[in-house]
């Protein structure tokens, strides 16, 4: 008896409605194929490669095994679909040209449950060596997400710690990025905190113990600065101390921060890995929020036809338990599309089963003249990440922080920034230096 080629059978190509979607993590990819290359065959080959099979049938890969553990191709859509001709080969594609498809592949939860490294190995594994393949999204069923605690504090927990409600939260990065002593860093920290910054973080380029800046020393000095600044502004400040290190030293670094009075930690998540952050977030001894920095993220997200999308990254970071995560806006020194930035902000905050919302953090060339635009885009649940916009203020970092707090107050009360600047010399100086978005703000401000 002749059987249907398994690559084209309903076993591997079921209808969405014929699948138990609660048992599948559904990955959406953009793939490119040569003009006459079969899209269904390519999709099934990708799915089989990442689940039960290989490039050729092996004896023990039975239909029973495939039913439970093989991938399920539940959508193959050409972009654009060749409706007019309804031919097998899109005649509008030049010889030797590419056809592009959106494909949706379901991966059985049993293959990857409660295991982010294995999820990445399955959904973004060997196939990422292929040209023209990008992972656009993963639809997670509730049963996959349930084992993950997610953010321990989230937006509300951070607001409660700061007693800062109904407004954007202000962050500052200590600049210079690295190479300074704890004594130099704490002077900059105090000035920014006294001016009204809510969260001050180390730069992503200084982490753990450095020969010129020991972890315990900078925690002690900066937390002393928190108390001195509180006497001036009447508000507390979180210090996101960068503990980034080899994974075997992360817990010790975190406890060094906590045991020396620190109230927040920071990790370069793509250097240490999602699971390293999850280890910290789900540890009951780690009693402070986690700020995850996105450095290196662009290496696998920025290509239009390769890698993975930053939406997927945001989901994985939130599942891992970060309370804060950085995304680049399209207005500053880094390139990002508006739609991608809004998607990332919403992925941080929107309902994700029972996981707490993660505070979205925008940074990279943020100046006071952008505050109104950020508020319109994102609302008040946002962390404004400001480095040089505070430290390079003509009147110094304390004045830079004052300028931002006044800009935030003006926007929250529907007062034009130029009107507010008449009574705030610090804001006036910032506007004169960097402008207001929509009037004279420009990408020309930035050198990169």
348, 358 contact by CB (below 8 A):
yes
Helix (H) or strand (E) holding 33: strand 24-34
Give me 63's structure tokens: 């239909």
360, 353 contact by CB (below 8 A):
no
Indicate if the alpha-carbon torsion angle 65, 67, 69, 72 is positive or negative. positive
For residue 11, the 8-state DSSP code is: T
Give catalytic status of residue 441 as yes or no. no
CA distance 80 to 400: 50
- The single residue of 42, 72, 152, 175 carrying the catalytic annotation is 175
Which residue in 279, 357, 369, 373 sits closest to 325, CA to CA?
Answer: 357
Give catalytic status of residue 175 as yes or no. yes
CA distance 243 to 226: 19
433, 389 contact by CB (below 8 A):
no
Half-sphere exposure of 362 (CA within 13 A, CB side): 32
Give me 196's structure tokens: 């009204």
- The single residue of 42, 201, 293, 420 carrying the catalytic annotation is 293
Beta strand ranges found along 55-194 (DSSP E): 72-79, 98-108, 133-139, 169-173
**Which residues form the catalytic set?**
175, 293
């Amino acid at each position: 008896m002749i059987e249907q080629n398994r690559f084209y059978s309903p076993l591997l190509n079921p209808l969405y409605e014929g699948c138990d979607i609660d048992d599948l993590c559904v990955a959406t990819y953009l793939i490119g194929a040569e003009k006459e290359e079969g899209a269904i065959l390519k999709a099934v080959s990708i799915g089989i490669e990442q689940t039960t099979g290989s490039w050729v049938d092996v004896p023990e890969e039975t239909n029973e095994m495939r039913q439970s553990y093989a991938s399920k191709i539940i959508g193959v859509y050409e972009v654009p679909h060749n409706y007019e001709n309804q031919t097998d080969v899109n005649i509008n594609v030049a010889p030797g040209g590419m056809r592009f498809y959106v494909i949706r592949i379901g991966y059985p939860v049993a293959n990857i449950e409660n295991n982010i490294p294995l999820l990445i190995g399955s959904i973004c594994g060997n196939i990422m060596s292929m040209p023209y393949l990008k992972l656009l999204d993963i639809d997670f069923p509730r049963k996959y997400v349930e084992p993950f605690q997610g953010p321990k504090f989230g937006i509300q927990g951070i607001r409660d710690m700061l007693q800062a409600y109904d407004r954007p939260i202000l962050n500052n990065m200590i600049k210079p990025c690295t190479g300074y002593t704890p004594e130099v860093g704490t002077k900059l920290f105090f000035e920014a905190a006294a001016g009204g910054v809510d969260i001050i973080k180390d730069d992503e380029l200084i982490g753990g113990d450095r020969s010129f800046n020991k972890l315990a020393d900078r925690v002690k000095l900066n937390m002393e600065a928190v108390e001195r600044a509180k006497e001036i502004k009447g508000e507390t400040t979180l210090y996101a101390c960068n503990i980034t290190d080899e994974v075997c030293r992360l817990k010790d670094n975190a406890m060094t921060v906590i045991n020396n009075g620190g109230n927040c930690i920071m990790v370069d998540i793509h250097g240490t890995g999602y699971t390293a952050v999850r280890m910290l977030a789900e540890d009951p001894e780690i009693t402070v929020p986690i700020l995850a920095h996105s450095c290196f993220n662009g290496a696998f997200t920025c290509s239009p036809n390769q890698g993975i999308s930053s939406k997927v990254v945001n989901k994985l970071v939130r599942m891992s338990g970060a309370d804060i995560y950085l995304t680049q806006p399209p207005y500053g020194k880094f390139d990002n599309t508006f739609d991608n930035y809004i998607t990332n902000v919403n992925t941080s905050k929107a309902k994700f089963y029972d996981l707490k919302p993660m505070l979205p953090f925008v940074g990279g060339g943020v100046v006071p003249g952008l505050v109104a635009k950020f508020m319109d885009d994102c609302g008040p649940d946002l962390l404004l990440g400001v480095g040089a916009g505070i430290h390079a203020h003509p009147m110094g970092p304390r004045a830079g922080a004052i300028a931002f707090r006044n800009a935030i107050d003006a926007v929250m009360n529907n007062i034009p920034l130029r009107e507010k600047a008449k009574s705030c010399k610090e804001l006036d100086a910032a506007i004169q230096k960097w402008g207001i978005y929509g009037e004279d703000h420009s990408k020309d401000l930035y050198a990169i």
